[in-house]
Amino acid sequence: MLDSVLIANRGEIACRIIRSARKLGMRTIAVHSEADSKALFVEMADEAHPIGKAPATESYLVVDKIIEVAKTSSAACIHPGYGFLSERAEFGEACEANGIVFVGPPASAIRAMGLKDAAKALASQAGVPIVPGYHGSRQEPDFLRQKAYEIGYPVLIKAVAGGGGKGMRRVDKAAEFEAALESAQREAASAFGDPRVLVEKYVLSPRHIEIQVFADKHGNVVHLFERDCSLQRRHQKVIEEAPAPGMTAQMRAAMGKAAVEAARAVGYVSAGTIEFIADGREGLRPDRFYFMEMNTRLQVEHPVTEAITGLDLVELQFRIAAGERLPFGQHELRMDGHAVEARLYAEDPEKGFLPSTGKLWALRFPDGEAIRIDTGVKEGDWVTPFYDPMIAKVIAHGATRDEALDKLSDALGKTAVAGPKTNLAFLKGLCDAPEFRAGRFDTGFIDANLGALGAVEQRLDAAAVAAGAARLHQRLVSEAFDVVHRTQGNLSDPWNDEDGFQLLGERRVGVPLLVNGARLETLVGFEAGEMIVHVPDFGFSTRAALDWSGDYRRLLAPDLDAELIDGDGAVFVLRHGRQTHVARFDPFAVDLEHIDEGGTVKAPMHGKLIAVFVQPGDRVAKGQRLAILEAMKMEHALVAPAAGAVVEVAVEPGAQVAEGARLIVVQPDDA
């Protein structure tokens, strides 16, 4: 067995690799950017080495820096994880040139399967069915538009290099093709350094099903059954499961055979995934699935395969890299039960899944039988704009699909995250959705059910506001008593303005708040030993018990099924998976210079402005695209808040902008 490993990655996959390496007695070596100097994976590793600034292009994507650390630390091998350099053939070659074992496939296999057009040609030669489309080298926009017309809409534009949904756009009509092509090419160039695309027929009612393959250096290739990854948003997987609902033994055998043949065709070694698209209009049929691509690395969703097979795929990768044979044949592999994985992201489903950043003031996961949490962060860490916004993967295993989904839903309900907005409530809603539970879904399920899943703007949670107001007033009362106690030694000042005391009836004190950044008035009163919180705009009131015995700071929050987390000078109220940020309104903190900014377009988060489509004097319609911001590996369109005239463009394309930065100003027509 290899005695040491350098992990050329970060976050939860780095932590995951370290755990398996330790089990094998290997010394673990981490590399990290400046932003990750105190990250969990850095703490877990036996040793850690800095390799550059926060942007991945200056750290995790710099081959020479990683190889240099591997040499100076005497690493026997390098595990690339997934993402970053994991599918760069030149990285594998650099390892080999320096006498370091690369824990993955040979560079020739990465190169052969790294470009979708070449991969499809190889798969077709191996007898694997492929989706109809144009997979050639010509990239002129007019030519590709003509090919799309010949294929017939809807079509899918896909980056030739890379994966993960980047550089991928569905186009439903010819009028949308040009903008979609430009966006796909731009995103592909940014993510993979290669703007080339292919155009394919979009399969209606598609199911995304992939086969996990493993191969050793002795010519043995097996598959570890399938995973269903059809629950996607913008081609990014959200919930994955194994085995696939509705899968028949006949189709599993056909897909498994096709996957093994595709792996053999490129002389594959180590873990890999063959991804297929299946036409699910009439259920899963062995004559209606098509090769999409091969991921020449470990997959994010590998834990569900581990759960149903009982195998440690990372350990298996290490053993194969060390020259061992696969310890089993295809006939010896069995599936045990069902497993489901949900990807918990720092993003706001109510704001178009916009990535969210900030400090994790609270992060707690449940303990439970057959529940697994893979995470790369801990409470107190920061979610930065530099990397993928994943917080954790929550995995559940059960004897049946229903049992696994029940366990996952329960685990999500017991998970607490405060700070950045998350998709926690959305994931639970998705997990409990009746149509998904019944197995009636495809890759368009999420987009077709955004409202039902809570992924649209929601009404403010008045109960959460009341709970936050109670906690803030509790602080104020406690601070007032602290002052009285220090100066007078008297804890029973009936004339204190802030405790709301009066002899008859309820006395109310106005408590102006900022709730999720917007001003809201609340009233707090006291009567018969209780605090009463009113939210007039919502016609909502609730009571909180007071207890002045013992510790005078004790004030029980309203019984609203809410968890209150102090932080950031405010309160994060967690209720039913949603987060409400409640702070006291400070009139002296108002920015009078920019108080009227109804037509201002600001950066929703830190990122790079990669395109601006307007200039001062242009007229725009409400919702029209004004610019593109790239953040956390994805493009985000910035649109006009109202119809009007552009009066200012404050930044140039290529500029790095901070969250909240003023970018473009539109003078609304009705102003």
Cα–Cα distance measured from residue 65 to residue 418, given in angstroms and rounded to the nearest whole number:
35
**Residue bearing tokens 């909502």:** 540
What does DSSP assign to residue 442? -
Helices assigned H by DSSP within 78-207: 89-97, 107-114, 116-125, 141-151, 177-192
Q: How many residues does the chain have?
A: 671
Cα–Cα distance measured from residue 312 to residue 320, given in angstroms and rounded to the nearest whole number:
12
| Alpha-carbon torsion angle 333, 21, 342, 577, nearest 10 | 150
CA-to-CA separations, 171 to 175, 188, 229, in angstroms, rounded:
9, 17, 21
Buried b / exposed e along 562-571 (16+ C-beta atoms within 10 A): bbbbeeeebb
List, in sequence order, every residue forming a beta bridge with 49; answer none if it has no partner.
31
Do residues 234 and 637 make contact, with C-beta atoms less than 8 angstroms apart? Answer: no
Q: Give the residue from 109, 101, 113, 141 showing the smallest Cα distance to 2.
A: 101
Measured over the CA atoms of residue 499, residue 503, residue 506 and residue 510, the dihedral's sign is negative
Task: Give CA 489 to chain center in angstroms.
Answer: 52
Cα–Cα distance measured from residue 477 to residue 523, given in angstroms and rounded to the nearest whole number:
15
Q: Give the residue from 214, 391, 208, 394 showing the smallest Cα distance to 298.
A: 214
Residues 6+ apart with CB under 8 A from 548: 554
Diameter over CA atoms, the chain: 89
Cα–Cα distance measured from residue 199 to residue 21, given in angstroms and rounded to the nearest whole number:
41
**Over the Cα atoms of the chain, what is R_g?**
28
Measured over the CA atoms of residue 134, residue 140, residue 142 and residue 143, the dihedral's sign is negative
List, in sequence order, every residue forming a beta bridge with 534; answer none if it has no partner.
523, 541
Beta strands in 346-450 (DSSP E): 347-348, 354-355, 358-359, 362-364, 371-375, 382-383, 390-398, 416-418
Catalytic residue among 169, 297, 372, 471: 297
Active site residue 508: no
Cα–Cα distance measured from residue 517 to residue 589, given in angstroms and rounded to the nearest whole number:
13
Inter-axis angle of helices 11-23 and 313-321, nearest 10: 70
Do residues 210 and 229 make contact, with C-beta atoms less than 8 angstroms apart? Answer: yes
**Residue bearing tokens 């489901």:** 340
Count other Cβ atoms within 10 Å, centred on residue 103.
30
Do residues 263 and 269 make contact, with C-beta atoms less than 8 angstroms apart? Answer: no
Helices assigned H by DSSP within 26-176: 40-44, 63-72, 89-97, 107-114, 116-125, 141-151
**In one letter, which amino acid is 480?**
A
Element (H, E) at 222: strand 221-233
Do residues 174 and 150 make contact, with C-beta atoms less than 8 angstroms apart? Answer: no
Residue 118, SS3 per DSSP: helix
Cα–Cα distance measured from residue 615 to residue 520, given in angstroms and rounded to the nearest whole number:
36
600-602 and 362-364 strand pairing: unpaired
User: So which residues are the catalytic ones?
Assistant: 297
